[in-house]
């Protein structure tokens, strides 16, 4: 079994200009991430536009990721859904394909109570032998995963990916026994210093080697060097305001030479002024990267 740690790419789903999944480009991206030294590949998550994917597309992405990683790093498969029934089915399918981790976002649109949410996760965990990583992303789902003892949810519920941006909540997850992965790049370093296992990172899709370097520096206790990288990457997160999620990371990747294509409608490309502003951010980070690596 793989150790779950380090820099995991919040991999985008490449689409053609007509909106179809671009399987060849997806394979190219995974190969590039692997050569860049990442410790895991996450597919069909929020940055992967899981909400816009048909079930067959979602499972095909997991299948391709399993093929391309070929056991070298774990594949974190997004298997969350609005209903428990659908999330169970997706998780079972991901396990049969060969994924290494089920990443299960809280149900969205509906507003389950804490008891309902706990029962949802218990049923999903009971349906698989995979390690289950709960995914907390209140800004996107409107549902907050309250820190709690994970042992009550099943022994294979191992941790939390937290994209809420609240450092206190994330630390409380860890104090309650969770293996914690940061989903918010601007606080990843802080969480690593508090004992987080790693990050499932959008920024790693644009600058994977830089994120891996930051992780290595932090683990080695070279905090000044790690902080310099974290500070250099911070403007990329601020640049999210230039467009609608998740197009900014996709366009930043294109500017950096690894184009995953457009976001699916209704999300539109950046305006010319937005793209120009993003290009400045990417170029500044690339300059810093060239100095460090």
CA distances (Å), 43 to each of 26, 71, 87, in order? 10, 15, 15
Of 273, 215, 180, the closest CA to residue 7 belongs to: 215
Question: What distance lies between CA 104 and its chain's CA centroid?
Answer: 11
Contact 102, 95 (CB under 8 A): yes
Q: Where are the alpha helices (DSSP H) in the chain?
A: 23-35, 55-69, 84-97, 114-126, 138-141, 167-175, 188-193, 208-219, 223-238, 247-255, 272-292
200 annotated ligand-binding residue = yes
Find all residues with CB under 8 Å of 55, minimum gap 6, and list them: 90
Block residue for tokens 């932090």: 218
CA atoms within 13 A on the CB side of 162: 30
The sign of the dihedral angle between the CA atoms of 96, 99, 102, 107 is: negative
Contact 192, 164 (CB under 8 A): no
Contact 31, 68 (CB under 8 A): yes
Contact 169, 191 (CB under 8 A): no
What positions carry a catalytic annotation?
Answer: 135, 161
Contact 82, 107 (CB under 8 A): yes
Which residue positions form the known binding site?
200
Which residue positions form the known binding site for pyruvate?
200
């Amino acid at each position: 079994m793989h150790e779950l740690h380090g820099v995991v790419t919040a991999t985008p789903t490449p689409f053609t200009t007509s909106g179809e999944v671009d399987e060849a480009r997806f394979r190219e991206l995974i190969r590039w991430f692997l050569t860049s030294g990442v410790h895991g590949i996450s597919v069909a998550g929020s940055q992967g536009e899981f909400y816009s994917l048909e079930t067959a597309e979602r499972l095909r992405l997991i299948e391709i990721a399993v093929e391309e990683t070929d056991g070298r790093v774990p594949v974190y498969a997004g298997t969350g859904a609005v209903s428990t029934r659908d999330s169970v089915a997706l998780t079972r399918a991901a396990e049969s394909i060969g994924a290494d981790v089920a990443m299960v976002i809280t149900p969205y649109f509906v507003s389950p109570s804490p008891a309902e949410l706990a029962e949802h996760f218990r049923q999903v965990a009971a349906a698989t032998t995979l390690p289950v990583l709960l995914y907390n992303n209140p800004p996107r789902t409107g549902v907050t995963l309250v820190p709690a003892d994970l042992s009550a949810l099943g022994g294979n519920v191992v941790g939390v990916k937290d994209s809420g941006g609240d450092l206190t909540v994330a630390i409380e997850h860890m104090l309650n026994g969770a293996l914690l992965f940061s989903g918010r790049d601007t606080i990843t370093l802080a969480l690593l210093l508090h004992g987080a296992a790693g990050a499932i990172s959008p920024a790693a899709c644009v600058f994977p080697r830089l994120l891996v370097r930051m992780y290595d520096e932090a683990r080695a206790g070279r905090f000044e060097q790690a902080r310099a990288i974290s500070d250099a990457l911070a403007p990329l997160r601020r640049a999210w305001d230039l467009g609608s999620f998740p197009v900014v990371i996709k366009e930043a990747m294109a500017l950096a030479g690894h184009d995953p294509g457009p976001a699916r409608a209704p999300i539109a490309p950046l305006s010319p002024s937005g793209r120009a502003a993003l290009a400045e951010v990417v170029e500044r980070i690339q300059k810093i990267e060239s100095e460090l690596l």
